[in-house]
Structure 1
Amino acid sequence: MSEEITADQLRQELKDVEEQIAELRRVGGDAEARRGQDTDTSEGYVEPEEIATELTGIAENEAVIDILEQRRERLEEQLKALG
């Protein structure tokens, strides 16, 4: 038996994807705001490795957002096709 995806299922998946995007943007914004800040125990010098780790995390977050945005577009197209 073939399983057909309903418009309601697509809408729910679209809603879930949009929530994930919003959360990742919030987390990414927090990371951007903290980037390069001193910690409580810091003496004013941020290790290059720490900066690289922060930048990598931010870049990975953006890559995941890009994938989710592509998924959102496909879901929107599927919803349009259903009518």
Structure 2
Amino acid sequence: MFKIKPASGFPIEKVAIRVAAESSNGTWTTLKIPEHIRALSAKVYNINDSYVKIAYPNDLFEEGNMPQILSSIAGNIFGMKALD
């Protein structure tokens, strides 16, 4: 679960999707992504006020690799301009 405060002018739904993408296999640029890669994308499944729940497919992570999990969940999202 993430607590999200969107920057001014950004709706929470769009910011939640950006956080899910940035914390899994998404990118800020437009790419043609094969279906087998798209299947590894994180998905927003609940938004309640500023709290957002995001599901990550097990296959996204290497078994036993805690640094990988932590870098995905708490990595680049803190630098996103869509967040305050």
User: How high is the TM-score relative to the length of structure 2?
Assistant: 0.31
Q: Kindly indicate which of the two structures has a greater share of residues assigned to strand.
A: 2
Larger Rg: 1
Q: Which of the pair has the greater relative contact order for Cα pairs under 8 Å at 6+ separation?
A: 1
User: How high is the TM-score relative to the length of structure 1?
Assistant: 0.32
